[in-house]
Amino acid sequence: MKHTETPATGDICFFTARESEIIAHLKEGLASKEIAKKLAISTLTVSRHRQNMMRKTGAKNCTELVCKIKEFSLYGCAKK
């Protein structure tokens, strides 16, 4: 797991390798079904990862999650 402190909040982000893969696809604008197909996992698994990332970042919805991911990526918190 990658642990990185974000300068803006001082929080620690914990994204797994799989979450980082999903982040890359979310940043491309792919839907859960498309991500699941590319990663050969179920859409439920993608949704669970997305829920975990929302909890970790404090995002209230998917749009906010993508915005936070982009913000954190600038600081190396998620893989680009």
In the chain, where are the structural domains located?
2-73
pLDDT at 48: 97
Cβ count near 76 (within 10 Å): 14
Element housing 14 (H / E): strand 12-15
Q: Which CATH architecture has domain 2-73?
A: Orthogonal Bundle (1.10)
pLDDT at 36: 97
pLDDT at 76: 52
In this prediction the pTM is 0.72
Integer Cα distance of 59 and 51 in angstroms: 9
pLDDT at 63: 86
Looking at residue 29, what DSSP letter applies?
Answer: T
User: Which stretches of the chain drop beneath a pLDDT of 50?
Assistant: 1-8, 74, 79-80
